[in-house]
Structure 1
Amino acid sequence: MNISEEAPVYYHGTKADLTTGDLIEVGFSSNYGTGRKAKYIYLTATLEAATWGAELAQGEGKERIYKVEPTGSIEDDPNLTDKKFPGNPTKSYRSQHPLRVIGEVTDWKGHSPEQLAHMKKHLEELKRQGIEAIED
Structure 2
Amino acid sequence: MQQLKEANATPHIATPFAQTYFHGTKADLEIGDLIKVGFQSNYENRNLKHVYVAATFHAAMLGAELAAGDGKQRIYLVEATGPVEDDPNVTDKKFPGNPTMSYRSEHPFKVIGEVTVWQGHSAAEISTIKSGLQALRAQGGGGIID
> In structure 1, how many angstroms separate the alpha carbons of the residues matched to 2:132 and 2:36?
28
- Alignment-derived partner of residue 114 in structure 1: 124
Larger RCO, structure (CA 8 Å, separation 6 or more): 1
Cα separation, partners in 2 of 1:84 and 1:132, compared to 1, 3 Å: closer
Q: Could you tell me which of 68, 72, 93 is aligned with 1:62?
A: 72
Contact 1:123 1:133 in 2 (8 A): no
Which letter does structure 1 place at the counterpart of 2:43?
A: Y
How far residue 114 of structure 1 moved from its aligned partner, in angstroms, is: 2.1
How far residue 8 of structure 1 moved from its aligned partner, in angstroms, is: 3.7
TM-score for the superposition, normalised by structure 1: 0.90
> In structure 1, how many angstroms separate the alpha carbons of the residues matched to 2:145 and 2:43?
10
> In structure 1, how many angstroms separate the alpha carbons of the residues matched to 2:95 and 2:50?
19
SS in 2 for 1:69: strand
Given the alignment of the two structures, is residue 49 of structure 1 paired with residue 59 of structure 2, yes or no?
Answer: yes
Moved more, 120-129 or 21-30: 120-129
Which letter does structure 2 place at the counterpart of 1:13?
A: G
Please identify runs of 4+ aligned residues in structure 1 that moved more than 3 A.
Answer: 5-8
- Alignment-derived partner of residue 11 in structure 2: none
Contact 2:20 2:80 in 1 (8 A): no
RMSD: 1.4
User: What are the Cα deviations for residues 51-74 of structure 1, in whole angstroms up to 9, with x where unaligned?
Assistant: 000000001110000000000000
Identity of aligned residues (%): 60
Structure 1: runs of 5+ lacking an equivalent: none
- Alignment-derived partner of residue 134 in structure 1: 144
TM-score for the superposition, normalised by structure 2: 0.84
> In structure 1, how many angstroms separate the alpha carbons of the residues matched to 2:140 and 2:80?
31
- Alignment-derived partner of residue 10 in structure 1: 21
| Number of equivalenced pairs | 131
